[in-house]
Structure 1
Amino acid sequence: MANKTHEIEERKMKIDGMEINYARVGRSNHPVLLLPGALGTIWTDFKPQIENLNTDKLTIVAWDPPGNGKSRPPDKTFPNNFYQRNASLAHNLMQTLDYSKFSLLGWCDGGITSLLLASTYPESILKMIVLGAKAYIHPDEIKIYEIYRDINKWSERMRTPMIQVYGEDYFRKTWSDWTDAMLRLYKKQNGNLCKEVLSKIKCPTLIIHGAKDEVVLPEHSTYLEQNIADSTVYIFEKGGHNPHLKYFEEFNNLVTDFLLCQ
């Protein structure tokens, strides 16, 4: 459990001309950057980690990517290079906070950003954990995206926090824009998101996949393990797409053991 005497700091910082919101807790010499999902935020996607990871041994930093959460205005956009843009911004945020070396914990879209960040700046990354991440879009996932384009198809537990953050209109429109971006990248890049850069990742990597994930196909974890040199797969048997929220104690123990092992 985290040491509750450590206070959580949350503020904005200008990075590459953008106002980026971040939260930080802990004063360890091992910083870990948490990267949320597509429209996720610090608090919708990583509240159990920020509040419960061991902040005596880890310094936890979480960010709202541009257009997410409190990193607005401006509204979120999806140019073809938005994953690469976010990877560069996240790296520059950590450098500005004076963390020359740090670890990564990325979920879903944040996992894709993490893969790009670790491959582009290998000298900066100590260790990496990705959950529900992938290097390409499978044709069957296009069908899944179209189903979940309608936010009414989301579970109440996942939809409500997003509406509370964004309001229903912004959330509905921006999620549809994300879906369009995925379809565009699938057609333009033959589904490839970052396959060619995986060989550049040098850090020890833990690939976590929920056995009941209905959004990301299980083959992605196998592909990542086969193409990232120092990597291991852990199948979260109870979990779906977001086991770090529903089973956070078990998840936190897993990632802490990985991050702190020599």
Structure 2
Amino acid sequence: MKSLSSIMWATSNKFSFSLGKKLLNNVRKKLVIKSNMLTSSYSTSTKPGHTIKEGKVNVDGIDINCVQVGAGEHPVLLLPGVMGTCWTDFKPQIENFPRDKFKIVAWDPPGYGKSRPPDRKFPEDFFQRDAEWGNNLMKTLGHSTFSLLGWSDGGITALILASKFSENVRKMIVVGANAYVLPDELKMYEKIRNIDSWSARMKEPLLAIYGEDYFRKTWAAWIDSITEIYKKNNGDICKNDVARIKCPTLIVHGKKDVMVDFEHPFYLNKHIKNSQTRIFEQGAHNLHLRYPEEFNKLATDFFMEKSKI
């Protein structure tokens, strides 16, 4: 995961007495208040829809932070993984997806990133809850039909959303996603339960967002929840949902992914009728961040082409 410090939280403690700098800052970052949304706008382009806007939208009584950019006719919702945010999990996609083709919406699920309060909770149906929130967010923003790009936990949420709200979903890409949990995966989660064992590169960006206490307890709560799902449902997260997915689906997986077993993309491909797989031979769990140019082209081609599958 990459740090947000240079993207979302970059501010200066020094007061500038230069009028020119003040005017430039006012042009580049302005606050726009519209009905139920407070938006910060960042732009290096004068083209309509090419400004990156970030702000909170009230959905079901919860203020959900989201990033929006693009003037295309094809809305796409980006769904991050556990503890993830718009920027930690999808920065290369937000910045580089073609803005004349897509209307990109990336969100911080409630309890993550800037969508706090509330604190993040993990009831047994938290994936289903997130799917409903994601669908309602897009409805609130005026998108009656849209596509999905979900990574890791966000991929699971996308699978459920596409099944439960099939009339709203045009196409879907899932990366490093799974419909069930394996015993070896639980063992992996337990090995990394203690964030003290994490490398500084992986840990520090999340500490900067959440602080140590919230990060530590929320990460542990997620592991506890997945463990409980495994015990109660024999590992089944959303197998029944997968069988009901109708939209064209691209399943992307890294062959070197140590977090989500290599059997999962083939299970999804077998049980989602209108699906295909793409394996990144050198890809790990975060392949869309490691190989953004290749991934972005793959995703753009899939979303824009007329379905052949």
- Determine whether 1:66 maps to 2:110: yes
Given the alignment, which residue of 274, 280, 286 partners 1:236?
280
Q: State the Cα distance separating 1:197 from its structure 2 match.
A: 1.4
Q: Distance in 2 between matches of 1:76 and 1:29?
A: 33
- Determine whether 1:256 maps to 2:306: no
Instruction: Determine which structure has greater relative contact order: mean sequence separation of CA pairs < 8 Å that are 6+ residues apart, divided by chain length.
Output: 1
Q: State the Cα distance separating 1:246 from its structure 2 match.
A: 1.3
- Determine whether 1:221 maps to 2:279: no
Q: Distance in 2 between matches of 1:133 and 1:49?
A: 18
- Determine whether 1:202 maps to 2:246: yes
- Indicate the SS of the match to 1:10: strand
Q: State the Cα distance separating 1:4 from its structure 2 match.
A: 5.4
Q: Distance in 1 between matches of 2:301 and 2:195?
A: 36
1:6-47 residue CA offsets vs partner (Å, 9 max, x unmatched): 110111111111111111000111000000001100111011
Q: Distance in 2 between matches of 1:22 and 1:86?
A: 14
Q: Distance in 2 between matches of 1:4 and 1:136?
A: 43
> Is there any run of 5+ residues in structure 1 with no aligned partner, and where?
none
Alignment of 1:95-174 (within 5 A): 95-174=139-218
Q: Distance in 2 between matches of 1:218 and 1:172?
A: 28
Percent of pairs with identical residues: 58
1:43-74 residue CA offsets vs partner (Å, 9 max, x unmatched): 11011110011111111100000100000011
The structure number with the bigger radius of gyration is 2
Given the alignment, which residue of 77, 87, 93 partners 1:49?
93
Alignment of 1:23-38 (within 5 A): 23-38=67-82
Q: Distance in 1 between matches of 2:162 and 2:184?
A: 27
Q: State the Cα distance separating 1:182 from its structure 2 match.
A: 0.7
> Is there any run of 5+ residues in structure 2 with no aligned partner, and where?
1-42
- Indicate the SS of the match to 2:207: helix
Q: Distance in 2 between matches of 1:223 and 1:4?
A: 43
- Determine whether 1:18 maps to 2:62: yes
State TM-score, norm by structure 1: 0.97
Larger % of helix: which? 1
Q: State the Cα distance separating 1:95 from its structure 2 match.
A: 0.6
Q: State the Cα distance separating 1:148 from its structure 2 match.
A: 1.3
- Indicate the SS of the match to 1:200: coil
Q: Distance in 2 between matches of 1:210 and 1:72?
A: 32
- Indicate the SS of the match to 2:226: helix
Q: Distance in 2 between matches of 1:129 and 1:184?
A: 27
Q: State the Cα distance separating 1:152 from its structure 2 match.
A: 2.9
Q: Distance in 2 between matches of 1:86 and 1:4?
A: 33
- 2:136 is aligned to 92
- Indicate the SS of the match to 2:283: coil
Q: Distance in 2 between matches of 1:214 and 1:235?
A: 14
Q: Distance in 2 between matches of 1:225 and 1:249?
A: 24
Q: RMSD over aligned Cα, in angstroms? A: 1.1
What is the identity, as a one-letter code, of the residue corresponding to 1:116?
I
